[in-house]
Amino acid sequence: MTSARVTVFDTTLRDGEQAPGCSMTVPEKLRLARQLDKLGVDVIEAGFPIASEGDFEAVRAVAREVRRPIIAGLARAKEEDISRAWEALVYAERPRIHIFLATSDIHLQFKLKITREECLRQISTSVAYARTLCDDVEFSPEDATRSELDFLCQGVQAAVDAGATTINIPDTVGYTVPEEYRAIILAIRERVRGIENVVISVHCHNDLGMAVANSLAALEAGARQVECTINGIGERAGNAAMEEIVMATRVRPDRLQYETGINTAELYNASQLLARTIAFAPQPNKAIVGANAFAHEAGIHQHGVLSNPLCYEIMTPESVGAPGNRIVLGKHSGRHALGRRYSELGFALSGAELDAVYRAFTALADRKKNIYDQDLIALLPRSRREPKPAAGPGARAAFAN
């Protein structure tokens, strides 16, 4: 079966930047945009031009200098927003205006203070105006997953009729669950006239920890663009993490038959560049790019990985551009890993010697969180503390103590 091509829309520079403490300067955004281009993303949402002069300049700089991907700028469903977005995007090789307007009753009543009828008119008017400026227009009914389904379909219909080329269905507050989200996408495909002529996109937040699962469920329902961020950064609990979606399709093509243009060997580089830029690293246990993603401390895991990495690693560190796996020596480690580490340090221990050292090692590991090479050497009898030449260059890099 042929895999379906999925467009990767990266919003690290827009929604990701909205996370507290994650704002970026124009040069920083431009540097990240170049890395996203190298990564192979299809669409870079570079910012919200009317939000500030800095955001406008960032979108314009990215539009001028990053030529391969589509460059998108966000706008509310207002003429002044759309005009400002176009002013920033006008020099892009492939510009896109991305318009949003909420369709949930709670947003209409308490935030926008407009009726459903006024909402539909704004959608039609704003999308039609954007199409006079740009051939590529995306529309997002904000808070789609808490919108009444019939009205959501009416809003999408209005956008399609006005000329939108992409329809994004955002789970703005991370409220939905996979089966429900899948049903929403299927309903839109069934009820909206002309929807077959536009791309259905999804944009999921992670408030309940299901952004990636929801995104994949939407792809199963026929969505063909996924909006995501590096390291999953974004408002509140963040957005769907690009690296998780992409690697899920690479590791499980038997169940997730989708292709992207992402060069996965650049995922770790992108993650690290973002972390340096915002001084905000992903948590150590973050999937794919976290510091512990390829680290092993439990003895049975270490033994398996040393015998064959496939025992406990479903992808290689190299496949995402990460450093090699790390064997972490701690109280859960076994004799096999400890013996291998002594061998790498140049000490060939007999079985009896290893048994004795292992008992001392486990006692030490119960008292210390981090075990260093000098600790291991100190555990040896004084007469055995002179190492032989190391087993081979580069072996030490496989371990982190």
* Residue 139: count of CB within 10 angstroms of its CB: 28
* This prediction's pTM: 0.83
Q: What is the pLDDT of residue 1?
A: 62
Q: What is the pLDDT of residue 207?
A: 98
Whole-number mean pLDDT of the chain?
89
- Per-domain residue ranges for the chain? 4-278, 295-400
Render pLDDT for 111-159 as a digit per residue (tens, 0 to 9): 999 999 999 999 999 999 999 999 999 999 999 999 999 999 999 999 9
Q: What is the pLDDT of residue 396?
A: 37
SS (H, E, C) 187-248: HHHHHCCCHHHCEEEEEEECCCCCHHHHHHHHHHCCCCEEEEEHHHCCCCCCECEHHHHHHH
Q: How far apart are CA 167 and CA 381, in angstroms?
A: 70
Class of domain 4-278: alpha beta
Q: What is the pLDDT of residue 397?
A: 34
pLDDT tops 60 at residue 398: no
Render pLDDT for 75-111 as a digit per residue (tens, 0 to 9): 999 999 999 999 999 999 999 999 999 999 999 999 9
Which is more confidently placed, 123 or 355? 123
Render pLDDT for 192-218 as a digit per residue (tens, 0 to 9): 999 999 999 999 999 999 999 999 999
Query: Phi and psi dihedrals of 376, rounded to 5?
Result: -60, -40
